[in-house]
Amino acid sequence: MDVIETKRDEKPTVIIVIGMAGSGKTTFMQRINSHLREKGDIPYVLNLDPAVTNLPFEANIDIKKTIDYKSVMKDYNLGPNGAILTSLNLFTTKFDQVLNILEKRAGGVKNVIIDTPGQIEIFTWSASGSIITDSLASTFPTVVAYVVDSVRTESPMTFMSNMLYACSILYKTQLPFVMVFNKTDIVSHERCLEWLRDFEKFQEALMLEEDSYMNSLMNSMSLMLDEFYNQMRVVGVSSVTGAGIPDFFVEVESARKEYFEDYLPQLEKKVAEKKEKEAGEKQAELDALLGDLEVKDR
C-alpha cells in the first residue's frame, strides 16, 4: 500500500495498545481515552478484541458489532483462541474500509487509539495482525504501546520474560515503541527502571534466586538485551489514578517524530524498490513477448 501524501501535521497518531491478559491493557485504554477527552482532544477509538465481555469505553469501530465471536466458535467448531484469530482474520478482509474512514477523519482527529486482543500472540504473530499493523503504519504515524503489569515484574525472571516479549514485538513490527509499566499505584516501577538502566543491580537481584541454571540464562539474556534497553522509551502509569499518563503522551510525541525521521524513509524506500522491481519484471515479460513475436514472424 502506498503512503498517502498528506501534510504531516494533519495525520493523526495511531497508538496500538498491546499487552498480556491481566496487564490492565483495556483499563489503560479507558484512561488515555478519558485523558484526551478532558483536554478536548477527542480520539478515534477502535476495538479489535472480539472476546472482551465489557468494554469500559465507547469505540467508534468495534469488531464485536461486525463479527459475533461466539457464532464463529460454534460455526467453525473452534476453541476460544481459534475463534478470536478467525474473527480477526474475517475483520481484516474489510480493513480497507476502516482505513478509508480514518483517512476521512484525518484532519479533525489527532489520535487514533486501538485496543487489541488480550491473547497477545494472536495479534502480534498472526498474518491478520501484521496486515493491520502494516496497513496503519503505511498510512499514519504509528506507535506501539506495550503494557506491562508492574506487579508481575517484581521477580527477575518474570521481568526478563516481559523484556523478551517486548523485544520480539519491536522486532516484528519495527515501529516506534513505548513500554508502559502499569499499576504503579500498587507497585512502583522504579525497580524495573533500575534493572533496565543498571545491569549490576539486575545481577544482584538474580543472585537472590535459588535456581542457578536459570540465573545463568537470565544473566546471558540481560547482556544480550543491553542495547535494546538503551533505546527503549519507558514510562510508569496508573490506569486507576491517572498518574504518569501525561508522561506517556510525551513519549508518544517523541515516537511520532521517530516515525517520520526513521520509519517513513525506510518505508518509502521499500515502496520505491518494489515499484522498480515490478517495472523490471514487466519490462522483462514485454521483451520476452516481443522476442517470441519476432521468432514467429521469421
Domain with residue 134: its CATH number is: 3.40.50.300
Please report the pLDDT score of residue 33 as a whole number.
Answer: 97
- Per-residue pLDDT at 210 exceeds 70: no
Please report the pLDDT score of residue 1 as a whole number.
Answer: 43
Residues 253, 256, 258: CA angle, nearest 5 degrees: 115
Helix (H) or strand (E) run with residue 29 in it:
helix 25-38
Q: Report if residue 290 sits inside a domain.
A: no
Q: pLDDT averaged over the chain?
A: 87
How far apart (Å, rounded) are the C-alpha atoms in residues 45 and 112?
A: 6
Q: Report if residue 269 sits inside a domain.
A: no
Q: What's the average model confidence in pLDDT over 242-246? A: 97
* 57-61, 209-213, 286-290: least confident range: 209-213
Q: What's the average model confidence in pLDDT over 284-291? A: 77
Q: Report if residue 193 sits inside a domain.
A: yes
* 273, three cell numbers: 524498490
19 forms beta bridges with: 147
User: pTM, whole model, 2 decimals?
Assistant: 0.87
How far apart (Å, rounded) are the C-alpha atoms in residues 176 and 263?
A: 8
Total tally of structural domains belonging to the chain: 1
* 105-109, 184-188, 227-231: least confident range: 227-231
Q: Report if residue 214 sits inside a domain.
A: yes
Residues in the chain: 298
How far apart (Å, rounded) are the C-alpha atoms in residues 94 and 100?
A: 11
Q: For cell 458489532, what's the residue?
A: 65
- Per-residue pLDDT at 37 exceeds 50: yes
Q: Report if residue 280 sits inside a domain.
A: no
Q: Report if residue 138 sits inside a domain.
A: yes
- Per-residue pLDDT at 30 exceeds 90: yes
Highest mean pLDDT of the ranges 2-11, 150-159, 201-210? 150-159
Please report the pLDDT score of residue 198 as a whole number.
Answer: 82
Please report the pLDDT score of residue 74 as a whole number.
Answer: 92
Please report the pLDDT score of residue 246 as a whole number.
Answer: 97
Q: What's the average model confidence in pLDDT over 158-185? A: 91
Q: Report if residue 216 sits inside a domain.
A: yes
- Class of residue 75 by CB neighbours under 10 A (exposed 0-12, middle 13-18, buried 19+): exposed
How far apart (Å, rounded) are the C-alpha atoms in residues 291 and 283?
A: 12
Position 19 confidence tier, pLDDT thresholds 50, 70, 90? very high
Helix axes 156-173, 190-197, angle to 10 degrees: 70
For 88-98, write each residue's pLDDT tens digit: 999 999 999 99
For 289, other C-beta atoms within 10 Å of its C-beta total 10
Range of the structural domain that residue 90 is part of: 1-261
Q: Report if residue 278 sits inside a domain.
A: no
